[in-house]
Structure 1
Amino acid sequence: MAVSSSAIPENPHHVRSMSMPSQSHPLALNLEEEIIKLKTWVSFSSSTSSLTAEMICNGLGHLKCLYDSVDDILQLPLSQQALVYHQHQKWAEEVLDKSVRLLDICGTTRDILSQTKESVKDLRSALRRRGGDLCLESKVRSYICSRKKMTKDICKCIGALKQMDKKHGSTSLLDQDPDLSIVGDVMSITISVLQAILSFMSTSAQKPKPRKWLLVSKLMHKGQVACEEDDASDVNEVESADTALFALSGQTRIKGIEIEKVNKALKRLEGMEISIDGVEAQLECMFRCMIQTRVSLLNIITH
């Protein structure tokens, strides 16, 4: 984006670089604290095999606070002067490009949450009605197919985020300048949080754990119930619901012990719906904060 000559020093080589607020500034301290919290969360989430909805909501809550802190910093005249000074390094183009791509993926993630929640509601309604064995079997299979298709969409989004993260390295202007590195940190953390949400929503049905699902298959073939699969402690709310539904998939008669499976699936689906509600609400708040930060940046750049 073109910059007026008045925005750039006549002899930048002999002028001291304008800096963002010092680390002792209260807003800078608060921003640094939020970044530390989120980096700790990212480190923990990457080492955890299955993030729960509560963990995801905690990460989103911290990310919202981080964007609030960034926006507070951007309102300071010193920050605005520093960013305008750095405009000749074309940092604006990089920031605005990455921010719009993150907003696009965040919007897609919102759609995935909303569509999944609607599918869960429809399936819960069908399970409660139990309108015939064939009808129920069809509903369950249809839901599982839609979850598999959605997981493919999720994988595409995760791939796009990984590509963004890969490009965000030594070639990034944001990493080369100390005054702009904080912006790079925020974007990198945002990528990690969005990846965590998408991984949370992906179905274990696409890549089942061989040993466990082989056991389920054998027990189902014998008409038995793999209770231990539904009570596994190392899965989140989405994986738990998927497991319960796969226990129903392939059943042609819903009676006796199968009724217990239906009730268990209903319970798991209810937990999944409640979890998605919480994540969806937190994501919506964070999404609005991301938009506000982008607006603040645009106002500074186009001033």
Structure 2
Amino acid sequence: MASTSAVQIMQVPQRSISLPASARLHPNVLKVEGELNKFKTWESSFSSSSSIQNGLTRLAELYNCIEELIQSPCTQKALRNLQHKKLVEEALDTSIGLLGACSNARELILMMKEQAQDLQSALRRRVGDSSMDSNVHAYISFRRKSKKNIAKCLRALKKAESNSIKSSSDMLDGNDQHLSMVINVLRDSRALTISIFRSILLFLTMPELKTKAGGWSLIRKLMPVASKGGQEIFNEVGNVDVALFLLHGQILKNNDAKFDVQIAHRRLETLGSCIKGVESRLDCLFRRLIQNRVSLLNVLTP
């Protein structure tokens, strides 16, 4: 059966910004609130990359709106108040963590893309079973080693999630409704960003596959990768893992693996397309996060 993380569904934290009517009239506030509301119905199931790509696209749009909000005169005036300097510094600390998490996700995605492309080329050549098995084994070894990196990144996200801006609310002036809204926006966007980065890491997680006695027959049964409800058991990454484990088993048994090679090749093509989509959206989000940090730095050094 698929691992728990492969079929787990993550609900994005659904937090709403409660603003007075006067604050809601500000156009930048309305734009940010509109983007945040789009996430209320968004969830990422780790069985597909489409929801992850959609989430990354929406997140980049959200940071565009946040950028406009930070650049607005009323926000600039509020943040440049000396008594609010600590708020900006804490937001900058948060931005470093988000950039680091995004860099980790991009690096893992890049390694996956390179490994998948190399294996696809090897399967296309099909020089011989021994050579082909060597390439398949190299990919499987890479996937097993990547589990440690993914686990490390997940722990870092968990730590970042727990280190929220705790003292900010205590320093806020209760009458400064606009600044309170800005801080809430930064908190909510941070929670959404961490959630989506977590979904990417779990998307890349290797499913648990039994390969001992009777294991290959079990994997054979999983080849259709469909449950009774018609939903895939594994995502695009897991589908490749299943196909390669089976192909490896057929080669070890000296069986004709032509059919399994074709399946593995098709799934690698699908994976390559998905990885390309996630990679491009991550690059876009990374640029938005950098711009967000630059804008916050400019508040401290106008």
Give the TM-score normalised by the residue count of structure 2: 0.81
Which residue pairs with 2:258 in the alignment?
Answer: 259
Which residue pairs with 1:278 in the alignment?
Answer: 277
| 2:220 pairs with one of 218, 226, 245 | 226
After superposition, the Cα gap between the structure-2 partners of 1:153 and 1:39, relative to the gap in structure 1 and judged at 3 Å, is farther
Residue type of the alignment partner of 1:196: S
The answer to whether the 8 A contact 2:123-2:261 is kept is yes
1:119-140: per-residue Cα shift (whole Å, max 9, x none)? 1011011111122222111111
Runs of 4+ in 1 over 3 A off after TM superposition: 86-89, 174-177, 253-256
Aligned-partner Cα distance in 2 for 1:217–1:164: 42
Give the TM-score normalised by the residue count of structure 1: 0.81
How many residues of Structure 1 are paired with residues of Structure 2 in the alignment?
A: 268
| 1:193 pairs with one of 182, 192, 196 | 196
The answer to whether the 8 A contact 1:175-1:184 is kept is no
Which residue pairs with 2:105 in the alignment?
Answer: 109
The answer to whether the 8 A contact 1:244-1:265 is kept is yes
After superposition, the Cα gap between the structure-2 partners of 1:135 and 1:192, relative to the gap in structure 1 and judged at 3 Å, is same
2:152 matches 1:156: yes
1:36-68: per-residue Cα shift (whole Å, max 9, x none)? 212432xx22xx3x2411111100010000000
Residue type of the alignment partner of 1:149: K
Which residue pairs with 2:162 in the alignment?
Answer: 166
Residue type of the alignment partner of 1:26: P
Q: How does 1:202-217 map to 2 (within 5 A)?
A: 202-204=205-207, 207-208=208-209, 213=210
By how many angstroms is 1:86 displaced? 6.6
Aligned-partner Cα distance in 2 for 1:246–1:229: 11
Residue type of the alignment partner of 1:173: S
Aligned-partner Cα distance in 1 for 2:134–2:158: 36
Aligned-partner Cα distance in 1 for 2:27–2:254: 63
Which residue pairs with 1:29 in the alignment?
Answer: 30
Aligned-partner Cα distance in 2 for 1:152–1:145: 12
Residue type of the alignment partner of 1:262: V
Q: How does 1:25-104 map to 2 (within 5 A)?
A: 25-41=26-42, 44-45=43-44, 48=45, 50-85=46-81, 87-88=83-84, 90-104=86-100
Aligned-partner Cα distance in 2 for 1:87–1:187: 23
1:16-52: per-residue Cα shift (whole Å, max 9, x none)? xxx9x822222211101111212432xx22xx3x241
The answer to whether the 8 A contact 1:174-1:183 is kept is no
Which residue pairs with 1:126 in the alignment?
Answer: 122
Aligned-partner Cα distance in 2 for 1:71–1:295: 10
Query: Once superposed, what is the RMSD of the aligned Cα atoms?
Result: 2.4
The answer to whether the 8 A contact 1:113-1:276 is kept is yes
Aligned-partner Cα distance in 2 for 1:154–1:299: 34
Identity of aligned residues (%): 37
Aligned-partner Cα distance in 2 for 1:247–1:296: 51
Q: Which has the larger radius of gyration?
A: 1
Aligned-partner Cα distance in 2 for 1:55–1:300: 35
After superposition, the Cα gap between the structure-2 partners of 1:161 and 1:86, relative to the gap in structure 1 and judged at 3 Å, is farther
Residue type of the alignment partner of 1:261: D
The answer to whether the 8 A contact 2:78-2:84 is kept is no
In structure 1, runs of 5+ residues without a counterpart are 1-18
